[in-house]
Structure 1
Amino acid sequence: MSVKSVGKERVPWSTRAIHTCRGIRRNWGLYLLLLPAVVLLFCFNYLPMYGVQIAFKDFTPSNGIEGSPWVGFANFQTFFNSFQSKNLIWNTITLSLYSLIAGFPFPIFLALMMNQIRVKRFKQTLQVVTYLPHFISTVVMVGIMLILLSPSNGIYGNLAHALGVQSPPNIMGQASAFQHIYVWSDVWQHAGWDSIIYIAALAAIDPTLYEAATVDGASKFQRLIYIDLPFLIPTAVILLIMRAGNIMNLGFEKVYLMQNPLNTSISEVISTYVYKIGMISNQYSLSAAVNLFNTIINFVLLVLVNGVSKKLGDTSLW
């Protein structure tokens, strides 16, 4: 028997199951192509969830996961009672928000700028130049920054000596400069690559809209505001929701490589802390608890931002 809900007839689950089976049988080839991706997703994203229980145990490798005793939320209490917890959470949130605020608009501006370029060869050259930094590995990127900002023999040091500064400060060793160096080097490296999806969205706009706007006397700026931006907003909102779901996840490699004893007060974030207490100090349960806390915060933020976006603009992931 069907159930009435909000003026619409809800199809019974048995009927939906039959239709689903028929659809799979009819398109078995497509599902076969999808199978390897599903297997990889299950093996590397769902099977490891079995190890989440380490966060609630006093885990030792000799006893294994099943043999280790349960301790409940003791590991979480240890983290929140530690003197480092507030500083870690604050450093992670501030650096993530700084990266989001500084880095999210740049690909949009770059895509809008490239969309206005009419010289094809210049446009292609500019695209290649902005894309290339994305393919520089993190280790090489940090090495380049260390060389450029070296106060002794880098470009920064040589320029300071040329201007008469005998002992220029070590920028990489200043805690106040860490976040700026991290964020703006990241913007330079990834803005071009991140703009690809916006350029694709702009390429899908019907040219007749531009022609009609031109006939009506719209300037380039007006076409950008009233045609380009409205088409980009749904894409930007979806990407913003996805970024919000990873706001507590910072690039561990880059932060860890840029760390030194002089900037640890600012550069120590949750991801580096989890690595140090887990892999170096062998406190596996505590590191699992901290990482689980970090993941839960990301999940909550993803759900909240998605709900707000769906309510305000009818654009959401689900």
Structure 2
Amino acid sequence: MKLKSWPFHLMLLPSLIFLLVFSYVPMAGIIMAFQNYKPWLGFTGSEWVGLDNFRYLFDRQDSMEVIWNTLFIAVFKILFNLAAPFLFAILLNEIRRNGLKRSIQTLVYLPHFLSWVILGGILLDILSTDGGFVNRMLGSAFGIEPIPFLMDGNWFRFTVILSDIWKEFGFGAIVFLAALSNVNPSLYEAAEVDGANRWKQTLHITVPALIPITVVVGTLALGNILNAGFDQIFNLYNPTVYEKGDIIDTFVYRTAIISGEMGFGTAIGLFKSVISLILILTSYRLAYKWANYRIF
């Protein structure tokens, strides 16, 4: 290490300590997945049960429901959070007035910076069946009975997916807009000289320019296929939608923290972590193969 660069390495020290304390030291708790863990007995005194917690995981009906719910919600989030920024970037790219373009960008970016604690409270209020703004509007405009957006499992899934798209699509469009900024303007000029209208220019220049980054974003998203959004679900769900809305992370919280089944909860978390690691490694391999993307 060069003498001049040591201050920059020193700046990394707090982050490395944070990573060590909160990401690596807790990994010692993985041993609980193989024990009938009791907090008052600790790691050394708790009964060793081997793979019983994992067998119990696959024997429980609600465990399979939770895994399916996680996959269902996560897959649709990935698909729509890929399609929505893609389309938005194309539409925004067609706006020629820079002031209007920046204003729209700012407005759609804002929800990304709001926590789900805040947005959850807003959604609980406006989607309420008892005087919520959305149901009042639907009732007055179309005569529709109040819809239980957050009290019915199927509506809950729809609400979770749609609200996540609304929150993230603007921020997700940044990478697509960055890709479009690298497109040579002379391509559009040449296409216009050849008689191509805006639609054909978009179809034959803009869309192909976005394909490589779309492949990268899509393949890397595979690593998060078991992350359906703990913060969002936790702030919106309730016992009436557990059957359709409970995901792995909230299930771990309820079983390990609320019910005290720490060994079983750790087994679920370890199962998810191993599958996620495999998917992340696979997604990086695919990104390198299809789009020549690599970290190192």
Q: State the 1:161 CA deviation.
A: 4.3
The answer to whether the 8 Å contact 1:234/1:315 transfers is no
Tell me the equivalent position of 1:99. 77
Show the 5 A alignment for 1:65-84. Answer: 65-84=43-62
Larger radius of gyration: 1
Aligned counterpart, 1:306: 284
Are the counterparts in 1 of residues 112 and 167 from structure 2 also a CA contact under 8 Å? yes
Tell me how far 1:123 sits from its aligned partner: 0.6
**1:60 CA displacement:** 2.1
Contact 1:238/1:316, CA 8 A, preserved across alignment: no
Equivalent-residue separation in structure 2 for 1:281 and 1:186 (angstroms)? 29
Match of 1:171, SS?
Answer: coil
Deviating more after overlay: 118-127 vs 207-216? 207-216
- Give TM-score scaled by structure 2 length: 0.88
1:267 equivalent in structure 2: 245
Residue 251 of structure 1 aligns with an amino acid whose one-letter code is: G
CA displacement at 1:114 relative to structure 2:
1.2
Aligned residues: 295
Structure 1 residue 219 corresponds to structure 2 residue 200:
no
Distance in 2, matches of 1:61 and 1:119, equals 62
- Secondary structure in 2 aligned to 1:293? helix
Judging changes above 3 Å, is the alpha-carbon distance between structure 1 residues 185 and 169 closer, same or farther for their aligned structure 2 residues? closer
Aligned to 1:190: 168
- Matching of residue 257 in structure 1 with residue 235 in structure 2: yes
What residue in structure 2 maps to residue 282 of structure 1?
260
- SS across alignment from 2:38: coil
Over 3 Å counting, the alpha-carbon distance change for 1:230 and 1:36 in structure 2 is farther
Letter in 1 for 2:83: P
* Contact 2:215–2:290, Cα closer than 8 Å, also in 1: no
Say whether 1:126 aligns with 2:107.
no
More off after superposition, 291-300 vs 131-140:
131-140
**What CA deviation, in whole Å up to 9, does each residue of 1:203-225 have, x standing for no partner?**
23333443444444443333333
Cα pair distance change 1:40/1:231, threshold 3 Å: farther
Runs of 4+ in 1 over 6 A off after TM superposition: none
1:48 paired residue number: 26
Distance 1:315 1:71, change over 3 A: same
Report the equivalent of 2:178.
Answer: 200
Return closer, same or farther for 1:230/1:161 CA change in 2, 3 Å cut-off: closer
| 2:86 pairs with 1:108 | yes
Q: Which one scores higher on RCO, CA 8 angstroms, separation ≥ 6?
A: 2
Distance 2:220 2:270 in 1: 19
Which moves more between the two structures, 56-65 or 122-131?
56-65
| Cα displacement (A) at 1:77 | 1.0
1:10 corresponds to:
none
> Amino acid of the residue matched to residue 28 of structure 1?
S
Query: In 1, distance between residues paired with 2:281 and 2:204?
Result: 30
Match of 1:28 in 2: 5
Q: For residues 160 and 220 of structure 1, do their structure 2 counterparts lie closer, same or farther at Cα, with a shift above 3 Å needed?
A: closer
Structure 1 residues 217, 243: CA separation in 2 closer, same or farther (over 3 Å shift)? same
Q: Which is further off, 271-280 or 64-73?
A: 64-73
Q: Please list the CA deviations of residues 239-262 of structure 1 after superposition, one character each: whole Å capped at 9, or x if unmatched.
A: 223321111012112212222233
Hey, what's the Cα distance between the residues in 1 that align with 2:144 and 2:98?
47
Q: TM-score, normalised by structure 1?
A: 0.83
Choose from 6, 10, 16 the match for 1:38: 16
Q: Does the CA contact (< 8 Å) of 2:53 and 2:264 recur in 1?
A: yes
* 244-253 or 299-308, which deviates more: 299-308
* Structure-2 residue corresponding to 1:18: none
CA 1:172–1:204: 2 relative to 1, 3 Å: same
Which amino acid in structure 2 is aligned with residue 107 of structure 1?
A: P
The answer to whether structure 1 residue 162 and structure 2 residue 140 are counterparts is yes
Report Cα offsets for 1:16-45 as digits up to 9, x if no partner: xxxxxxxx3377344444444334333332
State the shift of 1:293 in Å.
0.5
